Chains A and B, each alone.
Chain A
């Protein structure tokens, strides 16, 4: 039986898949998008911490030295993200990391990317928060920054503020369609132009096509919606163009497994992974000090007591983003809600073992409503490396958890950034006893919510898997447009940069598609 065919086959439906999916479909290409996760409508999202609910769409992947969370549904991580939508600072694009030369392609700077940032901001769209929109936790962080002599500002978010209920359940998917995920813009736009989205289709490998006029064949297996370890079907689709957007944790694995079918793959596939320099700490604030030092009270006699209330991200300080400071010493600090699922990880703050469990830890968690978690986005050294792929899928699933092949041995440069950001957070939050600071101590694994760069773009074939057009080196017609193509950590939340790069790549794809036999017409306006 002949394989199914299409012009463009896209693997993944997050930012990196949905954006080119929209532009190519709107340009007239036949587009099929395969998504390994399920498709949920907003009514199906839950406000619940019950395992088996949110875990349908959110993966927790344990590696060696790293723990990663990533979306697993139609819309990808745009469904589970916290919607902070920031442009990366200019110096990020000039970074040299540990290789001693510019990592990003010469064609991409902050100023050349700004037009694509703007398109993504308008298409999502992104809202600027006023201080009236900043929840209590962001307010305490901002006031603490001010008192410590720092600037701080509201964070732009991809949220419809007229719909937002400040429920703080963003990681579960938004019940109110307030959070602007791909489900509300690019995906419906793509489908309106004929793109077909197939959930629960997990891509295994890419092969060479057998049908004349088609270059690649994508092998997939259909998954049981109640058990992602069980395949209920399989198939192949041949395409003229393949866009891999399976995420930083998926894209390199698919390519590694494809090696025996498509020939040698670039050495940078599965190497140079960045954890975006993510570093989370906990400040347990003293309610009396919030009142006395910061002058805040949200109700009579209640200074704060509001950790679970609000949008999960709302304020941040750019004071440590000095472009003239040495690399690995720059970072942003951001107020960021951590759900109680993560309560285990923080130290109790009392001398002596046990450090993260027992009586003292129980006492600390009894003050949970007075917690304030802070994310630092530092500059890491791209030290993540993927081991050989599993027999099937992107990682091995065990119940709601997964074990991956990623190894992340913290480099001294990365640790230096962590140490500096810890100290900065401490200087702001513990000033005059405002709070006590608690580091992650239950595990040596770094906690990463923003995996990047496992199949990155660049000008140097030795250290980048794709060229500056996002095309996989040595494999014409295969493009990588997701977070794995972002070359370095960004010192801010990465979603808007992923979207901007995907916007830029889409414009290139529209121009190059005819070279691969796909007739499209442009330009295409944003959705």
Chain B
């Protein structure tokens, strides 16, 4: 495969870009693979990538119901951070964040990781204490965060109103190396690298059933026929419940729509990412200039991926109070993503009751930032068959044992 570089672009420009190759191949499925990953979102593709890179397993198919990267990977608000409170969360999100740092170079695909800095505003005394706790925890976890005062917040975010009449900004939890990345590019970059390793990415191929023998997985029934496999990794986010059912087990997961919207593009006015959990809203400005805004989850279960009005109304009220200058910007587009929520709002990376079948789900509202770490850890789980240090705490059995990893303490609803 040709490497991407400024020289390659110059070379291709001379022939009007007619010489570029496909970023990823579009093969027909083989009869069987060593590993099938169901779901070609960021997590599924990253799982495949690290199976190849870290374990040399390349006889892999990633199969996808729709188009790759078309689920939550392509509809989130692109925030990357690892300022989590609980040790297992901090470990996997920091792994992901640190992999993001070099991902563009590693994949030879610019995923535009931009460590522009991320602020989580504290607007009540209770929140101040909560974030101080997080800073203490992060220090011991090796995650670099700090507590900053309102003046420093104002310096980093000149458009913010720190003296709001209802919830003045009392300070913020600041992660200087948190930021954003280009969400589609993460999926595309991984897909290209997987394809380069000889893996098959099979789009428009829906799983209809899981076949097994003596309690061990043997393959999947798909809209493109039966495909055999030695190991199966289910990485399908919002539809995890359905695929798990085909594999014969149930998950403590429910699906709800998470709301997001963007404004029309304007010239740069905010460099950092700001999350305000007391008032429920978060905002960053994309490289295109759009204000990217996330709100809450709908309070009912559904699979529609549609935008609804009630949350964005509250979100915009909160954000206009926080950033009064956005009042005259316009909402260009709103949408919803189906997030898979577990009982403790933390993910599941786990063996399953079906032999050689593994599941990675439950990232809820916080999946994008975890993609490289999730793929790294999942690959280890699939390749070795056993949970490694990153996945140990995230097994399904924790719900039976009551061993929750509850981040809602520190993160509120917005991950």
Physical interaction between A and B:
no
- A interface, CB within 8 angstroms of B: none
* Interface residues, chain B, with chain A CB atoms under 8 Å away: none
